[in-house]
Amino acid sequence: MQAIEYPQFGETLYTETLANGLKVNLLSRPDFHRTYGVITANYGSNDTTFVPVGQSDYQTVPAGIAHFLEHKLFEKEDYDAFEIFGKYGADSNAFTSFTRTSYLFSATRNVNECVCQLLDFVQDPYFTEETVVKEKGIIGQEIKMYDDDPGWRLFFGILGNLYPNQALSVDIAGSVDSIAQITPADLYTCYQTFYQPGNMNLFIVGNFEVEAMLDLIKQNQAQKTFPAASQPQVAGMTNDAEVLPYRMLELDVNQPKVMVGIKGIDTVPQGREALRYRLQVEMLLHLLYSENSAMYTELYDREILDDSFGYNFQLERGFHLATINGGSYYPNELADEIIKTAKNALEILDHQGQEFDLAKREFIGHYLQALNSLESIANSYEGDLYDSATLLDYIPIIEAMTLDDVKQVAQSFLGPEVFSVFQVLPKGGQEG
Amino acid sequence: MKVALKQGVYLDITASKQFKTSRIMISFSRQAQSAKELAMRTLITSVLETASAKYPTQKQLADHLSYLYGANFGIYINRYGRLNQVIASLTLANDRFLKDDTNLLAAGLDFLNEVLVNPLLDEAGLFDEKIFTLQQKNLASYIKSIQDNKRSYVAMQIQSAYYTDVVQATPQMGTPEDVLALDRAEVTAYYHQMLAQDEVLITINGEVDPMQVEADCQASLNLVARPAQKWQLYYQQALLPAVIRKVEKQVLNQSKLDFVFALNYQHPAENYAAILFNTLFGASPLSKLFVNIREKQSMAYYASSSLNAFTNSLLIQTGIEGRNAKKVEMLVLEQLTSIIAGDFSTQELQMAKEEIITAWESQLDSQGNDLNQKNLNHFLNRQSDYATRVAKLQAVTKAQVQAVAQKARLQAVYLLDGQED
């Protein structure tokens, strides 16, 4: 077990990779009442084309299968994992993203039982024809609910523009048609390929004793046998400059919504450098688009944007992109201004010395605040993507950041100018 | 530690090393008398949050927050039954984790005083016209945009159909129409009244010296004494003569079917039985609604209940296929009947208790929740001792839960039908 000390924050992270390949991170918070545990498979909705374990050719499975599997893993032959956690007085849940599937619990008592239950239900798949059919109804409803959400449609609209015909542009839950094709055999194939201990990590943070916890986990894993490890092979993405520059969708909304997407086609460095890259791009976007920025102030006063304006940077395994979006009665003007600002980034950054110093203080405070949240600490762990970095590693990177770093990342990320616009407009036209 | 800084201005400090931050919450409270007052209070939060005399532009204000190490700041409204609150909240990094020598908490109190007490006014003493007009427009547009979320839209619609009292029937932020009709002079006047007369409660949690913080509050916050008030948060409505039924059609992929039940249980004697009834009925993944309607019947993506103790009512929300509306209504009523009939085991009751206790315990890990709890305790004039709450919850019997369920009366049903004709 390796102990990593963070004297600046009074924290110690314990980490160990078990014999079966499962990576374990433990952060004890004795002042807290709760313990939060999350086990994550390095597998998400984007991983639909891969070489199944024990085979040699790529195979494509129906869209939405990672999320479907997440739902089905809770249900067993003679019990439901939800209910077991309920008996322990614990909450449990799960979520699927493009590149990760995570299962979690939160408990204030029976923590040992919860940890074992988390490992047991995730490591014991049970899929049958009957239970798979039933789940299609529930997930079908979930898909329909998201279809009515304008923000969701906007986001998947821009993904469709940036990554046409790629798995990334499909809803994480798939479509009613795609999930109709899912079979128990498909679920087992995906499970066996991606839910190997070596492709997973367990993060526990909260009120527990570290050594006893690690012993418990080891004992639990020692009771199980796993097939020989094999590294999952997933078809890579095409990150070229090919995008659809503009599309729109009419929905029942009061105010038009616009999203500009910036596709990253530059090469992101590996490991900790990837985290540094991410924080630099976040800083860049903050200087260009935050409430403190010149663009925001000007467009707010001109009523081209309002408080719904925001931006996000996503860096995951295989892709990275920025989205800048807001509600606006002048959606074309807003899109033009966002793109103009991105194109002028270097010029803008030349005058941002003072803003940069303020922004660094803001980022430090922001990530310090995030350390209050057990969920933030555990959920932000990205495994190999950032070479096992945790939230505790962010602040030193920010402290060391210079404005020149931000200028360099601006050249790398924004330089190729791969922009696209998606709008959600009210049905039957709009004022303005 | 709770003290009166002045009459009508109270300070409640919790010294704790649990968090990496300190958090301050200042609430201004009164009982709103009209829907228009709700709109005024919400607009005031937007105007105050945007700029102040010392930070006259949004950028200057945002830059100062960055300078305070990304202090997390917001002003918003809150409602507990008949109580209407304007709340300013500020979260600050703990000095101990920062590399320069600073007293962020004192700087934060100064900042809050600036935005709350010294707003940006014009020569006539009114809220700055440009900011007022723009915030008025933006707020109206924001309230309208909430309707884009169909789940909250239906919840708002059914509550305005159910409540006979206009303040309860109005969404807590007010309506877009009321916001747009407000006049700058009357809102400024109302703000001054709020500042001078609303009861003020300052709650703080962090690694602080309470004596020092009390002195800092006295020095920083320029708030006058005001009459002390007695609070009655609970709103009780007579049963409606007939169930209100509304159907609205929109083109949607998923329909929504909501219900309101009046409960009319006794405060405080049946409080804990009511919480358990809600948990067993629809507020938990182990509840009747979730297990039977979503999991067993696959009739809904969500089916849940929420208890409003202050209005003694229960809201049920479901997301369904429109054509199943009748069946879902029947199933919801069946679940209620089964609780009345005692169709739940003592083990299930115990699990519900454990779930609630875990939720309470988990709240002890949130600085924001601690302040919210102190805020609520103050207005309910109670000491909320965690151990006492647990003991009271554990003492609830199956028969007591059935008795609360027995009192539930269906009052309103709202269907947002997404089916194409």
Distance CA B39, CA B166 (A): 13
Distance CA A82, CA A101 (A): 17
The number of C-alpha atoms within 13 Å of B120 and in the hemisphere containing its C-beta is 19
Contact A14, A214 (CB under 8 A): yes
Q: Cβ separation of A108 and B358 shorter than 8 Å?
A: yes
Q: Residue A147's closest chain B neighbor by CA?
A: B253
Burial tier of B381 (Cβ tally within 10 Å: 0-12, 13-18, 19+): exposed
Helical packing angle, A129-147 and A65-73, nearest 10°: 120
Q: Cβ separation of A108 and B294 shorter than 8 Å?
A: no
A121-143 pLDDT, tens digit each: 999 999 999 999 989 988 888 88
pLDDT at A303 over 80: yes
pLDDT recorded at residue A432: 39
pLDDT at A41 over 70: yes
Chain B partners within 8 Å of A8 (Cβ)? 97
pLDDT recorded at residue B421: 53
Chain B partners within 8 Å of A106 (Cβ)? 358, 362
Distance CA A130, CA A112 (A): 32
The average confidence (pLDDT) of chain A is 95
Q: Cβ separation of A33 and B357 shorter than 8 Å?
A: no
Q: Where are the alpha helices (DSSP H) in A181-250?
A: 184-194, 210-222
Exactly one of A11, A70, A337, A355 is catalytic; name it.
Answer: A70
Chain A partners within 8 Å of B70 (Cβ)? 361-366, 369
Mean pLDDT of A166-178: 94
pLDDT recorded at residue A429: 67
Shortest Cα distance, chain B CAs vs residue A360, angstroms: 8
Mean pLDDT of B191-208: 98
Contact A70, A93 (CB under 8 A): no
Phi–psi pair at B152, nearest 5 degrees: -70, -30
B-contacting residues in A 292-331 (Cβ below 8 Å): 292, 296-297, 300-301, 303, 306-308, 327
Structure tokens at B348: 């299930």
Domain A2-234, CATH 3.30.830.10 — does that match?
A: yes
Contact B312, B409 (CB under 8 A): no
Chain A partners within 8 Å of B361 (Cβ)? 33-34, 108-109
Contact A247, A157 (CB under 8 A): yes
pLDDT at A301 over 50: yes
Q: How far is CA A280 from CA A241, A269, A376, A410, B66, in A?
A: 22, 12, 20, 9, 17
Distance CA B130, CA B136 (A): 10
The pLDDT-based confidence of A431 (bands split at 50, 70, 90) is: very low
Mean pLDDT of B24-28: 98
Name the residue facing B358 among A83, A90, A308 (closest C-beta). Answer: A90
Q: Residue A10's closest chain B neighbor by CA?
A: B97
Chain Cα centroid distance, residue A287: 23
Predicted TM-score (pTM) of the model is: 0.92
Helical packing angle, B346-363 and B386-394, nearest 10°: 170
Q: How far is CA B76 from CA B28, B85, B86, in A?
A: 11, 8, 6
B-contacting residues in A 13-42 (Cβ below 8 Å): 31-34
* A235 part of contact set with chain B, CB < 8 Å: no
DSSP annotation of A228: P
Q: Cβ separation of B355 and A399 shorter than 8 Å?
A: no
Shortest Cα distance, chain B CAs vs residue A246, angstroms: 23
Phi–psi pair at A39, nearest 5 degrees: -110, 130
Least confident range from A357-371, A381-395, B269-283, B378-392: namely: B378-392
SS3 B266: coil
Q: Which residue ranges does chain A devote to CATH 3.30.830.10?
A: 2-234, 246-426
Chain A partners within 8 Å of B72 (Cβ)? 366, 369
Peptide bond into A426 cis (omega under 30): no
Chain B partners within 8 Å of A144 (Cβ)? 253-254, 301
A147-167 pLDDT, tens digit each: 888 999 999 999 999 999 999
pLDDT recorded at residue B235: 96
| CATH number listed for the domain at residues A246-426 | 3.30.830.10
Q: Cβ separation of A253 and B148 shorter than 8 Å?
A: yes
End-to-end CA distance of chain B: 62
Distance CA A156, CA A140 (A): 17
B337-383 pLDDT, tens digit each: 999 999 999 999 998 998 899 899 999 999 999 999 999 999 998 88
pLDDT at B330 over 80: yes
Question: Strands A35-41 and A246-251: what pairing?
Answer: unpaired
Q: Length of chain A, please?
A: 432
pLDDT at B170 over 90: yes
The pLDDT-based confidence of B4 (bands split at 50, 70, 90) is: very high
Q: Strand pairing partners for A105?
A: A37, A92
Shortest Cα distance, chain B CAs vs residue A286, angstroms: 11
Q: Residue B322's closest chain A neighbor by CA?
A: A141
Name the residue facing A141 among B19, B254, B357 (closest C-beta). Answer: B254
Shortest Cα distance, chain A CAs vs residue B255, angstroms: 9
DSSP string, B88-153: EEEEEE-GGGSSS---HHHHHHHHHHHHHHS--B-TTSSBPHHHHHHHHHHHHHHHHHHTTSHHHH
**Nearest one of B44, B400, B387, B321 to A145, comparing CA atoms:** B321
B205-250 pLDDT, tens digit each: 999 999 999 999 999 999 999 999 999 999 999 999 999 999 999 9
Name the amino acid, one letter, at B19.
F
The pLDDT-based confidence of B420 (bands split at 50, 70, 90) is: low
A70 is catalytic: yes
Contact A60, A75 (CB under 8 A): no
Distance CA B33, CA A299 (A): 37
Helical packing angle, A184-194 and A65-73, nearest 10°: 90
